[in-house]
Each structure stands twice: as structure tokens, then as C-alpha cells.
Structure 1
Amino acid sequence: QAGQIHIRISAANRGAEAAVLHLLPSCWCRNTWAWGDDAGEKPKLVAAQAPAGAAWAVQIKVEGLGEYYLYGRQTAQLLFTENDSNAEALWGLRNRSHYVKDAFHRRVVHGEQGAVNPAHSGSKFAAWHTQTVEPGAQMTLEIVLSEGALQTPFADAKALFELREREADDYYHGILPDKVADQNILRQALAGMIWNKQFYHFDVARWLDGDTSRPPQSRKAGRNRQWRQLCASDIMSVPDSWEFPWFAAWDMAFHALPLALVDIDFAKRQLEMLLREDMLHPNGQIPAYEWAFGDVNPPVHAMAVLKLFRMERVQRGAGDHGFLRRTLHKLLLNFAWWLNAKDSDGHGVFEGGFLGLDNISVYDRSQVLPAGYRLKQADATGWMAMFSLNMTMIALELTVEEPDYEDIALQCYSQFLTMANVMAGNVDHSPSLWDADDGFFKDVLVTPEGDRHRIDVFSMVGIIPLFACEVVEPRLLKNAPRFEKMLMAHAGGMFDGHSICACPAHTNERGEHLLSLANHDMLPPILKHLLNENEFLSPHGIRSVSRIHATHHDLGWLPAIGRALIEYLPGESNTGLFGGNSNWRGPVWMPVNYLLIETLMKFHQYLGDNFEVEVPCANNCKMTLQEVSYLLIERVTDVFRRDKNAHIPAFASDSPHQNDPHWQDLLLFNEYYHGETGQGLGASHQTGWTGLVANLLLMKHDKPEKT
């Protein structure tokens, strides 16, 4: 019903003995009155007369929100207090009120009756339910939150729940038919995306300055002090609302893609949120994450913007050009920040920064090298080349209706060509990041004397340049004659007399152009590494570091770095680097697997079924790139499916999710997965970017990503 939320809470006794269960569903108002400001009228929760069918009722009054009511169907003891910290217990200071935030704990656990307000009013409330639950039985509570008073809040509750369940079944059937065994995976992935929404409020200037009711603290010079303009106050999609209850820039870009399957308007708002004036730094940098807004995550925002535009065009028959325009203008600021901040010599090869792949390198790449030394990063430059092509495509999409955007397409594509030229080693003394002997992209260390030292690591670093790939349809060139002329001028990927990228002189049978950092001659050797089970290919996707480094981990001596070591660690990290709870040296990570699969599908769109590669994991038989993509989708999604032994790889063998009848159909979506066994690691509810499995399932079933 409009203005109503019906809630049902069930808790079961899975033990062998009867037990007393205490359940306290709670409601509270955010504390805005203790900041020392004029906060207006203080919110108030007060016991009210229970209507027919309800055992209790609470009236909620919040200035600006109006009047709400909370109703409970089962008998309970009502507890009220204030949502104020217990200053006396915490800091030895006088409490603002006798009734404070820890009152319910003191009442229930310690039996302190004076802890709660006998007047049944306050800013925090709990309904204390107690029941002896027999083995195998369960306790169920029903609650209704309504905007305004209701006369019979539970009159239609049973029918309403049944209706909503049918509607949900019908809705998801429309996304993926229920006869498909993978629907359980898709539904739970999308449920996890919705679960990880939360209200996030962080006013950096206010935090640094301190409350007006007390003198400023030393944190004026604390972390994020360069981000005083940032004032977040919105509902955000967070990586894991339990373990990572804050936004992360590149996570949020990936979150938008599965969210768009069920709520594309919310997904678009998420992407625009980080580009608003109260989030984006004046210099154009997108805030990375709460711990250090000034850190650097991969520039994937434009990728997500372009993807959402295309998804909405499928869903609704037309893309949102206003969304494209608004985001493009802000992303140009971010693009300029990257060009100025991370390309130290202006040559178009990028270096430095955290870049989200934590410990993947032979040293901590967020640290500064000695003067004169430079680490030219294949992944950083690959990300930026992808960013350039994403921006080019956004501008071309806008050119269809507004030809003036052709200038931006020209500028962004020019930047891409510059990056491709330098990455190929054709400018001054810049090193080529392509190792033709090994058929892979690699980082290069340059000394002050200009000596070059290739870092012979086979990792995700060398795969990322593939992601710079787009297909230009003929319709995008109708209002872009100068851009088409530029394509012809650089036909065959020619730039200053060198062939630097895959921008073929000819179109395919549909008249499409390919724009790509890697040419089709590079694909077979790269895929030979990726599709080899003794290298990158695990039973559950592409590993972040090749398995060959299990034995080949000593890379010799590198100037300014020392002994260069790279380990293959398919599970959790064995060091404290970046907190120790993240590992890019072997595990399977969903976002980069998703981008790789998307990229191979783009190459297939242009190259077609006649282009095939040898697949080592399939006895070197030849496959199209679409078939390779489907092979990878199967492996990635297998982590959630039961294998021939009825075992789900994502869970440990002793997990209740394997065989317990109450848990065996419930999935968790982890941060990353073991590179050998597929067991889920890291944050256990990080549906976030792991929710991309929903997009992959639709791709596998040849169904457009639409609702």
C-alpha cells in the first residue's frame, strides 16, 4: 500500500533444546540536536493507542517528514530512551538526559528498570518480545510502518505478502525465465545489491572543524583536509553495508550495472552523485573512498555511464541524452585531472597511484620512487586509454542529436591516439609496454639515465590494456564528418608513420569501425596465456596473477626497488600491505573478469565468427571470441553452482550453505574468490561488484540487459 511498509521477522530455533528468545525491533531518530546548532524541533517517539488488530502503536513525529506510526501485532514491552550517547560512561561527562542510547542493553541484559523512560516517550524505541521457542519452531513478528494513522493495519497483511511475492516472482521471470537454473543466482545477486543501499552522511568541513558546542580539535589538520567541499548526504550503494559501510568510487561504478537491471534511475543517480559539486574535487578528482578521498581508483566512471545509456536504450527504447550531457561535462574535468596529475612527463604514459589493484605489483605502487625513477604502468595507461575511448563514444552518441559535441569526440580520440603511440614506444625515449616475445603487456621501470627494465610479471596489469576497445556504428558518424575524416587519416592504426593500435582501414560487413589499443594480432598470444589452466585460467574465472609465479617468483634485481619478487597467492594475502584483507596476487575478482568478457564480446562484434583463436584449455581447438566469452561466463558463474559432487565452490566444505536444508539455497557474494578452489574470501556480503554475475548471466542466455 502507498505510504506503508509491512515487515515480517521470523527467527527459528535450530537447536535441540527449547530456548527463550528475545527480539527487539527498534526505531530511532538520527541525532541532529546534540551538534550545538539550532536543530529545530526535536524528533519524538511516543506510545499511542493501538488500533484494532494491533498489540501496540508508536507515534513518530519528525520535523520536515511529518507524522508516522509504527504498529506491532504481537504483544511486547515498550522501551523508550533518547538517542544520545552515554557521555558519563564514555567520557566522564554529564549526560544531557537521564535516558541515553545504551538503555535497552542495560534494561534487557542487566535488568536495570530505571534505564528506560517510564513515560513511554523519547527519540529511540524498541518493542521487547520474549518467547520460549521449541526445537524446530520459530517466532514470527509482524510490524507496519505507515505515513499517518491506520484503523486496521494488519487487516490485509497475509494477502499483501502473498501478492508481493507473486509480483516479485513475475518480475524476475521477466528478467530471466524461471526454468533457467541460474535464476536463483540472479535473484539473490540483485537482492544483495538492493540490501547494500544505505544512507551515508559525511560533511568533511564540519568534521574537521568540530561541533560548535566545543572548541575545534586537532583534526583540523587530519586526513581528507584537502576535501573540505565534500558533503555527502544521500542513499548510496556501498560495497558491503556490514564490512565496508562507505562508498568507493570504482566499486560504485560497477554497482550501477547490476542495479540498472532493476532500477536504472537509481543507478544513474549513483553515477551522477560522485560528480556533483559537493563530491567532485574542484580540481576534477573523483573521491576514492572515506579513508583517503585523495587516493586513486581506476577511471571506470565513464565506462559505467556509457553502459547505462546503452542499457536504458534497450529497456525503454531511447537513451537518456540529458544524463549523458550532464555526466560528460563533469567527466571532462576528471579527464583533465588525470592528464595533469598522473602523466608526469606529458607523454601519455601513466604512473603512480593506488589504482585499486592493491598488492598486484612487485612493490607498493602508491609509494614514490627515488628522484628520476619512473614506473610506466601498463594498467594505468590501459585504464586511461579505455577512459579516452569511453569519452569518445559518449561524445559521438551526443553528436547524433547535437553535432557540436563532435569537437569533444575529436579531442578525446586524439588523446587515445597519443596514449597508444607512446605505449607502443614511439615517442622520445618512452618504452614500449608490449612485450612481443612473451605476447603480453608489462610495466617498465625507467632509470634517471634512461635505462629500461621490463618487469616480467604476468598479471592482470597486462590484461587491462585490452579493455580499451569500442565499436563505432555507422549511425554515430552521420553528424561527425570531421571525426570520420580523422578515422580515415589514421586508418590501420597509423600515427606518425607507425602502426600503433587496432583501428583497421576497413569496416566490417555492417560498416562498423573498431577502436582498440590492442590489435587483432595481439589477441591470440594474450588469450593463449589467459585460457591456459596452468597460467591464468582457473575453474572459476581469470586469476589476477598467473599460476606460473607459483614457481617463477624471483624476477631479479631492479634499481630503486631491489629484489623483485612476485608470489602466486590464490587465497588470502600473506602480508599486511593495504590492510592485509585484500589480495590481487592470484584470486579471481569479478569486476575485471566482467570487463574482459565485455571486451571480448566487443571484439567479436567487429571481427565476427571468422576470427578464431586456439584455446589451450580445450585441447587447442579453435573458438570464436563469443564462444570464449561464454566459456569464461560459465566458469565465473560455476562458483555459485553445485558441482558434480553437489558442492558449491564458493563455500567451505563444512559451511551450512553446503548441505543444511535451511541454508543450502542461500548464497553469499564475496569480495573475491580463491584462484584454485573458488572459495569466497574477503568481505562476505560484498554483492557490490560481485553482483555483476547477474549481468553475465543475462549475457550468457543471449538476453539483453533489460527489465
Structure 2
Amino acid sequence: MPTDSPHGPTAEHRRLLDVMGDDRDNVSWRRWGPYVADRSWATVREDYSADGNAWSFLPHDLARSKAYRWGEDGIAGVCDRYQILAFAPAFWNGRDPILKERLFGLTPDEGNHGEDVKEYYFHVDNTPTHSFMAFLYKYPQGRFPYEQLVEVNRSRCGQGLEYELIDTGIFAESRYFDIEIEYAKFDEEDLAIRITAHNRGPEPAPLHLIPQLWFRNTWAWAGAGGRPLSPEDEPRISMAPARSEAFIELWADDSPATIPKGMPIPYSLGRRSLYAEAGAEAMFTDNETNMPRVFGAGARNRKPFVKDAFHDRIVEGRSGATNPARIGTKAGLHYVFEGVPPGGSVAVRLRLSDKPGLDDPLGPVDPILKTRKLEADAFFEAIRPEGASDEEAMIQRRALAGMLWTKQIYLFDVHDWLRGDDPSWPPPASRWSIRNQHWLHLNSMRIMSVCDKWEYPWFAAWDLAFHCVALALVDPQYAKDQLWVLLFEQFQHPNGQIPAYEWEFSDLNPPVHAWAVWRVYHMAAQFDKRHYGREVRDRGFLERCYHKLLINFAWWVNKVDRQGNNIFEGGFLGLDNITIVDRSEPFSDGTVIEQADATGWMGMFCLNLMRIALELAKENPVYQGMATKFFQHYAYVAAAMKKMGGRDYQLWDDRDGFFYDVLRYPNGEFHKLRVRSLVGLIPLYAVERLELDWIEQFPSFTASLKWFLKNRPDLVKDVVHECETRDGQGTTLVLTIVDRDQLHRLLERVWDSEEFLGEYGVRSLSRAHSERPFVFRGHVVAYEPAESVTKLKGGNSNWRGPIWFPTNFLLIESLRKLGKAWGDSDGIRKDGRVLTYREMASDLADRLISIFRVGPDGRRPVFGGQDTFQRDPHWRDQILFYEYFHGDEGAGLGASHQTGWTGLVACLIDEWKAAAPSDAGTGAGSDRSLAYKALMAPE
């Protein structure tokens, strides 16, 4: 197959061709993957309480005992496309009070800063088709300090740093196991599994390994007739007849089962074999709720053997807890290693296969793991930018591995969840007034890229858009599929709103979906050209998304521009506590917040829709009219940010050279909220270029554009700027909400270390508010570079100083566009010279990448003051991709596995390290980057 890549299509690239077909959701190399959540307990989906407190309704202590309704969890778990059958390992060190079947963490009431996982695990490797996956879990050899973690964090009352597992001393003297879980696919339906435990401690230590196989409980809920299904309709796992002393075989068969409700297609796995090395005791139970433990002594179990039987058998020593008939819907293989020697290791090999009766099922396990690992190496070598160092290539690969591990089957039918599963036991009436009562249409059985499979095991609208940009580097088809999901009829509301996140689908996330669709469309085309040598532009995808985005745009205009002045209001827009009040909550007296960020986002939205319309107009001239509409709407929005509707105030403040939110009172008076934050920088995201020679191919659009420029100078004079093209042979129109003077004044603040510019990126709040907090009616906004003291929108409110990747990423993109338009002829004065937009973009990208690189002092900023992470060879390269980062020091904060949008570092490496090594850091040669080409296309 022809390709312009020197590597040619690798084995993984060839497998990716299989998942580009129309049947890719059912039969393909992606049918099995890491789709098991890290946490299903305490989620909205599993909450059937009267008060909506999901965290208390199903806490960690009950998770081992209650069958989940909407999806399973486990450690490094895998399952099939619809999670009929799941596999995950469990562990016990002989001292813990709980069998380690799932990751432990704190609830918002227990944690120092909201929900917080308290384990150490790492996404080591993964490929787009999940042909090879590697996961590392660090399991202490001492008793896990559950109570200590809760008590100390709770005692800090939301102030100061979090008390982490490593702070307890549990890893002292390296008394822990490094447990590697590896998967490799023989083919689409046949998985090799190896679990290897390394004793890093100084003494022999016991370890129990318990690989588990179970069916998701789809039978205990109300069936079509309004009653639970009978046992004859259940799947079953049983012992296969013994054929060899070298291995054990279990049979898992869903053939007797009724197809779960809501399945879009006939779907059954049939009989599967789990082959495992001899030496284990096979245990069986049912994936059923332990009713007395969960609901009280008066409740009765549906079946005698229940979900937490393996805990009772192994930890509590109750031999009668498991089914002596050796059959059930959940099975475990209990391997006991009395003393793993110091520095030594033990391993267990398994195979989950659709091929029964194999004579030597486990012999090929090690060879296929080696083969798939080498293929993964070749795939990522083909992805690696030419100018990236070995370390930067490793960072990029780890970031992408995290993206690929953070896939989850998202099962949720809001109508059934609100109504209840069993008519004889309906949920309390209050549940209809707590959340999501307006989203009865939302029904998901999708594999989705979620924010963090433990801390945020659900999708969020703007997170997902950024995920897709990073995922497009390795799997553009999956990225396109993900973007379409939120626009699909079972997700997007009939009124046009895109669901925000499951705690409140009606909340507002920034409208970045159009930006992501446009970017991924181009990245997919470049991926095809680079790796397959073919010219493919998926205009069907672009047009399909465009139609739904038009409905979404109309919803925004009708919902949050109530006065018709193109100033947008109402909604936290993902920025939590960045201002003085919760922007999701309306004022009781009718006061409204007119938002600089909402209006800036809408300007960007207009330009994105204009660009997409012009692309579609290449084949269908009708779309020129839509391009004209959104150009003009952009002009109205951009002008409105400065002065519109005859008012005597505007969002731009000429005294400070900044955009601010404005409180508009019912009597027409106003008050500016003079907080210098990202809110005032987001208008910089609305940047686009139109080269007049290029748009001549669109005569209707060009004529309308020229008419508007001539006849509405009041709107366009400060928001459409003419400059020469780079070759000096033509004219470019630069579309920016800000004029040149405003642009310079904003960027001077951005590039001031006493304000926004930190050593590792642009802060979310000006450092000037450290000495000069903003105070309004008793509310205070002060610079907080780490975890925030002030709580709005829950415990994880941290937009008053930390560095966030998505907002930095969009700023870099704007700087690149400005640099493309104005070249080296414009910028800001710094240190006696002009600092160009391109130089700012390059510098900012390198600051963000440097969070993860080893610095001159031998330390990675991301690890902060954790000396074990900085020095220990078994820790120092296990990079975590946090939710946000310390505004001054770069240390990782918040969710520790939020690779979702922090995974954008993979795009930064792709874009800024595509040059030859001698040009690295300058951006030279970056035309070879997929991200850069998507950003600058089309010309």
C-alpha cells in the first residue's frame, strides 16, 4: 500500500483498517477492550436514593456486595463491546481487611478536595485496536490504610495539600508488589493474559492472585413483562471437563440468556473458554446483591451465593460462601504464593478465547505478548515526531496509552433510571425533581472516552471534544465516532442542547464541539495520507455533524442571549469557581451575569461553523449561504463584546485592558467583576484567517462578505483586519474579536510572570490577585496556585490559579493563527524586542511539555515534592497525567488519571517536535505535523 511515511503501514495500522468499516461496533479488533470502569459505585447511574446523594447511597464498602445495574468496575478490567462478559484480576496480601477487587478512594465528604482515588496505578501501553495493553498496579504488602486516609484528609477540612497513600509510609523500604497486567490479542476474539507480580521489598511476602470472570447482571432487573427473568434465562460459568494437568478450563456461556433490553442488534457471545495455568482453586458464585448486607437484615437474597462470596471465602475464611456445585455467573481462580522472594516475581498466564478444546492454549501466550509488543513499538515509532527526543516520545506514548485505557462502556437509560427497574419497587417520587428529568431520551450503550475512569467515570461534553483531538493522532475513526455520539439523537436533546455530564446533563459546557469536529476532520485526512498513502476527506462525517451543530447553535442563541444583543449569559462553562458566584445558579432578584467567556466561546463557535460551511461549499454551493450567515453572526458577537444595543458599558475595560464579566441588574445598572482570569482571555480563542484569493472559489460568499465589509463598518472595523499574505502577493482578512491594540494589551498581561505566565504554562487566574484579591459583597477571589480554598460546584473547584491544558492548548492555537497571518511583523514588546506570536506559541508549548520532562535538576515537575517518584527507578518514569497543575511549580493536582484533556500533550509533541532536532523548539518543519496541518488547513 503506498504511503508517504518512511515506516509504511505497520501491523497495527493494517488492523485499524478493519475498524473503519460499517460494522466496526460489533465485529472488529475493537470488540474487546479496556471498557470496564475503575469505579461504578457512587455514580449517578447507580444512585436510587431519595435525596440524590450518590456517594452515600452506594459507597465503597458496599460495592463488593451490590450488583451494579449500569456497568461493572475492576482493576485493569476488559470486556466485550456490550459488556456481557467481563474479566479483571483481584489481589490479597494476607493482611488487608478487604479483597482488592477495585480501587479505593475518598468521597467528597471524606476527601480534602472532593472525590480522590488513593491508589497508584499506571497506563503503561495500549494500541488503538487494543491488540496489546499493559497496566501497572502498585500493591502494598502491609495492611491498606483505609481508615487513616479518610481520617487525615477529612481532618484537613478542605485546606492544604491532600494526604496521599505514599504519605502514610505504606511504601517504606519498597514493601510493595509491582503487578503488571498485560493483554495481547491472537485475533479479534482471542485474548492472551499475563499477570506478573514483582516483590520490590526486602523480604519474602505472600500474595494471592485471583483472576475473575463474570457476567454483568442483566437478568435481575425487570424484563419485558415487568418481572425479573427466571434462572433459566441467565448465562452461566462452569468447569469444563478436565483434559490436562497443565491447565484449567472454565466455560462461560451466554447462550441460554435473553438478549438484554435495549440492544440495537442481535448480540450473543456464545460459549467462551477461560484457560488458566494449573495450581488454582476454581471458585464460583453469582453476580447477585448480598441483600442483607446492603439493605438490612430483613432483606432476602434472590439466590444463595452472592457477589461478595470471594471476599468472604478468602479474607473471612468462610468456606461455604462459594457454590460447591462449581457453577454460577461469577468465577474466580485462586492462586496462592506463600512467599514471593525479594527481587523475585511470580506470573500467571491465562487465555480468554472463543476457541474451545485447545490442546496447548497457554504455550503461545508469551510469544504473542512479545509479538504484539513489538508491533506496538513499530506503531508508535511511526507516530513519533522526527524531532522528538526519546523521552518526549515516551511521554507522548504514555499520554496516548492513557487515552486508550480511559475508554468505558457507558450504559445509561435515563427513562428507566427515573422510572425504576421493578414496578413493584419504584424509586421515590423525589427522584424526578433531583436531576436529569428533562433527558428521558438519553439512552446509551456506547463505548466512550470518559474523563477519568475512577474520579470522573462519565463523559463530559467539552472534555470529550479535547479527547478526540488527541485520539485522532492514533485512531481518527474512533475520534470521529466519539464526536458524533454527543450529536446522535439518543444524546443531543431535541431542543439542540448537548448533554454536559451525568450529574446534570442540563448544565453548560463550553461550545467546543464544532472546533473539535473541524480539527479531527483534517487530522483524519492527514492520517490517511501519511500512513496509507491515500487522499480521503470524510465530508459525510463533516456534513452530518454540521447539521446537528446548527441545531446546537440555535439552542445557544435562544437560551443564553435573552436580550438579543449577542451577549451571552448564565452557565459555569466548565470553569467552576473562577468567579465570585456559582454561575449555574440564577439570581433570585433577576440579576444576570453577562459573560466574557460565553461571548468569546460563541465568537469562536461562529468562526468554526463558517469554516466548516466553506469546506462543504466546495462540493455544494448552497453552503456558501451558511458561511455568510456565520461570518455576519461572528461580527455581531465580536462587536457586542465592546459596545452594543446603545448601552453605556461593555465587557472590554479600556482602563485595565481586559475583558470582564458584568453583573446587569433588573433596573439596568451594572457592575463589572474586575477579576483577571481566563474569563477575560477566552475572547482570544476566536481567531480565523480568510485569504481573499482563496475565497474567490466561493462567489456568493465573497460577494456577501465584500458587501458587509463596505456597508457595516460599525461592526467590522475593529474585528476584521486586513494584512498582506506572507508572500506579499495578496490580502488576508484576520478575524479577531480584539483589535491590534487590545490584542497587544491582553497578551502583555498573558506574558507577564507577575500575572498569567507561569514557568509551566498560562495560569487560570492572574498572580496579581495574590497581593490584591478581588472583593465583592463579602466574596473574595484570590490567587490560589494549587488546590482551592473556595468551594463552588463541589469540592473540585480549582480555576483560581492552576494551569489547565485545554485552555492553554486553545491559546497556543490562536497564537499560531495570528503568527500565520502577521508573520514576524507583529507581536508584543518584551525585553527590548518584538516577541512574535509564533515565538509565544512555541515557548508556551514547550513550557507545557516540560511539566513531564526531566529537568536540569533531574526531577520531573509533575511529581512535585514526592521524592519517591523523583528518585526511585521503579517510580520515576511512571508518569501520571493530572487534571491540572500548580500555577508556579508545575506539580500535578486533581484527578491523577485525567489523561483525557491533559493527553493534549501528545498533540503538542506532535506539533512542536515534528522538526529536525536542530530546529526543535522553533516550530520549523512543523508542517509535517498532523496537528499543525489540521490547524492551518485549508489554504
TM-score range, shorter chain: over 0.9
Deviations 1:488-519 (A, max 9, x none): 23449954366241343765546543222223
Query: 1:582: which partner in 2?
Result: 797
- Residues 1:97 and 2:322 are matched in the alignment: no
Once the two structures are TM-superposed, the CA of residue 412 in structure 1 deviates from its matched residue by: 1.9
Query: 1:333: which partner in 2?
Result: 551
Deviates more, 1:440-449 or 1:291-300: 440-449
Give 1:78's aligned amino acid.
A
Match of 2:334, SS? strand
Q: What is the aligned counterpart of 1:202 among 412, 415, 432? A: 412
| Whole-angstrom distance in 2 between the partners of 1:71 and 1:518 | 64
| Whole-angstrom distance in 2 between the partners of 1:475 and 1:265 | 33
Q: Does structure 2 retain, via aligned residues, the 8 Å contact 1:570–1:675?
A: yes
Give 1:592's aligned amino acid.
T
Query: 1:26: which partner in 2?
Result: 212
Q: Does structure 1 retain, via aligned residues, the 8 Å contact 2:722–2:732?
A: no
Query: 2:201: which partner in 1?
Result: 15
Deviates more, 1:327-336 or 1:429-438: 429-438
| Whole-angstrom distance in 1 between the partners of 2:423 and 2:586 | 41
Once the two structures are TM-superposed, the CA of residue 49 in structure 1 deviates from its matched residue by: 3.7
- Residues 1:114 and 2:320 are matched in the alignment: yes
Q: Does structure 2 retain, via aligned residues, the 8 Å contact 1:106–1:112?
A: yes
| Whole-angstrom distance in 1 between the partners of 2:888 and 2:712 | 42
Give 1:60's aligned amino acid.
A
Once the two structures are TM-superposed, the CA of residue 475 in structure 1 deviates from its matched residue by: 8.0
| Whole-angstrom distance in 2 between the partners of 1:65 and 1:589 | 42
- Residues 1:175 and 2:383 are matched in the alignment: yes
Query: 2:233: which partner in 1?
Result: 41
Q: What is the aligned counterpart of 1:684 among 887, 890, 896? A: 896
Once the two structures are TM-superposed, the CA of residue 540 in structure 1 deviates from its matched residue by: 0.7
Query: 2:840: which partner in 1?
Result: 628
| Whole-angstrom distance in 1 between the partners of 2:626 and 2:648 | 27
Query: 1:151: which partner in 2?
Result: 359
Q: Does structure 2 retain, via aligned residues, the 8 Å contact 1:239–1:247?
A: yes
Q: Does structure 1 retain, via aligned residues, the 8 Å contact 2:826–2:834?
A: no
- Residues 1:565 and 2:780 are matched in the alignment: yes
Q: What is the aligned counterpart of 2:373 among 158, 161, 165? A: 165
Listed as ranges, the gaps of 5+ residues in structure 1 are none
| Whole-angstrom distance in 1 between the partners of 2:827 and 2:711 | 22
Once the two structures are TM-superposed, the CA of residue 649 in structure 1 deviates from its matched residue by: 1.1
Deviates more, 1:427-436 or 1:582-591: 427-436
- Residues 1:56 and 2:248 are matched in the alignment: yes
Give 1:147's aligned amino acid.
D
Once the two structures are TM-superposed, the CA of residue 155 in structure 1 deviates from its matched residue by: 2.8
| Whole-angstrom distance in 2 between the partners of 1:492 and 1:563 | 49
- Residues 1:593 and 2:800 are matched in the alignment: no
| Whole-angstrom distance in 1 between the partners of 2:611 and 2:345 | 55
Give 2:323's aligned amino acid.
N
| Whole-angstrom distance in 1 between the partners of 2:355 and 2:903 | 36
- Aligned pairs for 1:262-301 (under 5 A) are 262-301=474-513
Give 1:172's aligned amino acid.
F
- Aligned pairs for 1:127-276 (under 5 A) are 127-131=333-337, 132-149=339-356, 150-176=358-384, 177=386, 179-218=389-428, 219-276=431-488
CA 1:691–1:301 in structure 2 vs 1: closer, same or farther (change >3 Å)? same
Give 1:66's aligned amino acid.
G
Query: 1:86: which partner in 2?
Result: 290
| Whole-angstrom distance in 1 between the partners of 2:907 and 2:433 | 43
- Residues 1:522 and 2:714 are matched in the alignment: no
CA 1:360–1:331 in structure 2 vs 1: closer, same or farther (change >3 Å)? same
Q: What is the aligned counterpart of 2:537 among 319, 327, 342? A: 319
Q: What is the aligned counterpart of 1:604 among 791, 798, 819? A: 819
Query: 2:103: which partner in 1?
Result: none
| Whole-angstrom distance in 2 between the partners of 1:497 and 1:127 | 71
Query: 2:125: which partner in 1?
Result: none
Give 2:688's aligned amino acid.
E
| Whole-angstrom distance in 1 between the partners of 2:740 and 2:361 | 64
Query: 1:123: which partner in 2?
Result: 329
Query: 1:613: which partner in 2?
Result: 828
- Aligned pairs for 1:377-416 (under 5 A) are 377-416=595-634
| Whole-angstrom distance in 2 between the partners of 1:605 and 1:238 | 34
| Whole-angstrom distance in 1 between the partners of 2:222 and 2:659 | 56
Match of 2:689, SS? strand
Aligned residues: 699
| Whole-angstrom distance in 2 between the partners of 1:147 and 1:518 | 61
Once the two structures are TM-superposed, the CA of residue 476 in structure 1 deviates from its matched residue by: 6.2
Over aligned residues, Cα RMSD in angstroms?
A: 2.1
Deviations 1:290-323 (A, max 9, x none): 1111111111111100010111121123321011
Listed as ranges, the gaps of 5+ residues in structure 2 are 1-185, 256-267, 529-534, 914-925, 934-939
| Whole-angstrom distance in 1 between the partners of 2:523 and 2:691 | 16
Q: Does structure 2 retain, via aligned residues, the 8 Å contact 1:35–1:213?
A: no
Deviations 1:472-491 (A, max 9, x none): 35686355222212332344
CA 1:585–1:50 in structure 2 vs 1: closer, same or farther (change >3 Å)? farther
| Whole-angstrom distance in 2 between the partners of 1:87 and 1:565 | 48
Match of 2:548, SS? helix
Q: What is the aligned counterpart of 1:66 among 270, 287, 304? A: 270
Once the two structures are TM-superposed, the CA of residue 164 in structure 1 deviates from its matched residue by: 1.4
Give 2:486's aligned amino acid.
L
Deviates more, 1:10-19 or 1:657-666: 10-19
Deviates more, 1:512-521 or 1:396-405: 512-521
| Whole-angstrom distance in 2 between the partners of 1:53 and 1:621 | 78
User: TM-score, structure 1 length as denominator?
Assistant: 0.95
Overall identity of the aligned pairs, in %:
43
Query: 2:758: which partner in 1?
Result: 538
Query: 1:419: which partner in 2?
Result: 637
Query: 2:19: which partner in 1?
Result: none
Deviates more, 1:20-29 or 1:520-529: 520-529
Deviates more, 1:87-96 or 1:320-329: 87-96
CA 1:344–1:102 in structure 2 vs 1: closer, same or farther (change >3 Å)? same
| Whole-angstrom distance in 2 between the partners of 1:460 and 1:53 | 65
Q: Does structure 2 retain, via aligned residues, the 8 Å contact 1:377–1:442?
A: yes
| Whole-angstrom distance in 2 between the partners of 1:606 and 1:639 | 30
Deviates more, 1:104-113 or 1:179-188: 179-188
- Residues 1:481 and 2:667 are matched in the alignment: no
Give 2:754's aligned amino acid.
N
| Whole-angstrom distance in 2 between the partners of 1:657 and 1:527 | 36
Q: Does structure 2 retain, via aligned residues, the 8 Å contact 1:78–1:126?
A: yes
Q: Does structure 2 retain, via aligned residues, the 8 Å contact 1:44–1:121?
A: yes
Deviates more, 1:456-465 or 1:10-19: 10-19
Deviations 1:592-644 (A, max 9, x none): 000000111111111122223223xxx35322211111100111111111222
| Whole-angstrom distance in 2 between the partners of 1:683 and 1:652 | 15
Q: Does structure 1 retain, via aligned residues, the 8 Å contact 2:351–2:365?
A: no
User: TM-score, structure 2 length as denominator?
Assistant: 0.72
Query: 2:49: which partner in 1?
Result: none
Deviations 1:272-306 (A, max 9, x none): 11111111111111111011111111111111000
Q: What is the aligned counterpart of 2:768 among 541, 545, 548? A: 548
Give 1:135's aligned amino acid.
P
- Residues 1:363 and 2:581 are matched in the alignment: yes
Once the two structures are TM-superposed, the CA of residue 254 in structure 1 deviates from its matched residue by: 0.7
| Whole-angstrom distance in 2 between the partners of 1:465 and 1:497 | 16
Give 1:336's aligned amino acid.
A
Match of 1:643, SS? coil
| Whole-angstrom distance in 2 between the partners of 1:565 and 1:36 | 51
Once the two structures are TM-superposed, the CA of residue 179 in structure 1 deviates from its matched residue by: 4.4
| Whole-angstrom distance in 1 between the partners of 2:679 and 2:770 | 17
